[in-house]
Amino acid sequence: MKRLLFGLILMGSLLLVGCTTISIKEPVDSMNKTANMMDLQGTKIQEVDASDVDEFLKREDIGIIDARPKKEFERGTLDDRAILIEIKRGYLEKFKSEVNKLNKDKAWFIYCKSGMRSNKGAEIMIENGFKDVYELKGGLRKYRSQK
């Protein structure tokens, strides 16, 4: 009886663990590169590797969001098309409000200094109906370290 119970618990645990994978490797549509994609509500956040950013930003159809604080934004951005929508701890509703004014059918690229805020911002965008969201993996820090 104990063996049967142990076997059932083990099988149940394996099933639960096997169903929790959240990231996969797939090619980014606009390039023949590999990007890590996180699945939220059937829509993927596509992470653009720092070494691929310059080529990626040649796309004319993409909007760019700089999620850093205003002072950092004013010191310079990745691209002149970047718009500032800050992500501040405790003020995610403000980010959500501002980002929801944007075209949800357009492709959007979001970045910050380390990748933490942009990842949260990308999640919020997906949760609010954006379909094509990219983020800079590792943030500006990683991008600048490769220059």
**Whether pLDDT at 111 is above 80:** yes
Domain annotation covers residue 11: no
Domain annotation covers residue 130: yes
Query: pTM value?
Result: 0.72
Q: What is the mean pLDDT of the chain?
A: 79
Q: What is the pLDDT of residue 41?
A: 53
Q: How many domains does the chain have?
A: 1
Domain annotation covers residue 2: no
In the 3-class helix/strand/coil scheme, how is the chain assigned residue by residue?
CHHHHHHHHHHHHHHHHHCCCCEEEEECCCCCCEEEEEEECCEEEEEECHHHHHHHCCCCCEEEEECCCHHHHHCCCCCCCCEECCCCCCCHHHHHHHHCCCCCCCEEEEECCCCHHHHHHHHHHHHCCCCCEEEECCHHHHHHHCC
Q: What is the pLDDT of residue 33?
A: 39
Domain annotation covers residue 44: yes
Q: Could you read off the pLDDT of 117-128 as tens digits, one per residue?
A: 999 999 999 999
Domain annotation covers residue 12: no
Q: What is the CATH number of the domain that holds 77?
A: 3.40.250.10
What's the domain range around 97? 22-145
